[in-house]
Amino acid sequence: MPEKTILIVDDESEIRNLISIYLKNEGYQVVDAPDALTALDILKKLKIDLVILDIMMPVMDGIEACLKMREEYNMPIIFLSAKTEDIDKIHGLASGAEDYVTKPFNPLELMARVKSQLRRYYMTSEKNDSSQCLEKGDLKVDEKTNEVFIRNREVRLTPKEFQILSLLLRHQGQVFSIEQIYESVWKEPFYKSDNTVMVHITKIRDKIEENPKKPIYIQTVWGVGYKA
For the stretch 133-150, pLDDT in tens is: 888 989 999 887 888 999
The answer on 57 and 103 residing in a single domain is yes
* pTM > 0.75: yes or no: no
Q: Name all contacts of 57-61 with Cβ < 8 Å and 24+ positions apart.
A: 57/9, 57/10, 57/11, 58/11, 59/35, 60/35, 60/36, 61/36
Whole-number Å distance between alpha carbons of 92 and 63: 6
Burial class (CB in 10 A: 0-12, 13-18, 19+), 45: exposed
Same domain, 41 and 141: no
Q: Tens of pLDDT along 192-203?
A: 777 899 999 999
Q: How confident is the model at residue 39 (pLDDT cuts 50, 70, 90)?
A: very high
Contacts of 214 (CB under 8 A, 6+ apart): none
Which pLDDT does position 124 carry in this prediction? 64
Contacts of 207 (CB under 8 A, 6+ apart): 148, 150, 155, 156, 157, 161
Last residue of a domain, one of 72, 92, 125: 125
Domain extent, residue 28, equals 5-125
Which of 77, 98, 125 is a domain's end point?
Answer: 125
Q: State how many domains the chain has.
A: 2
Single-letter amino acid code for the residue at 98: E
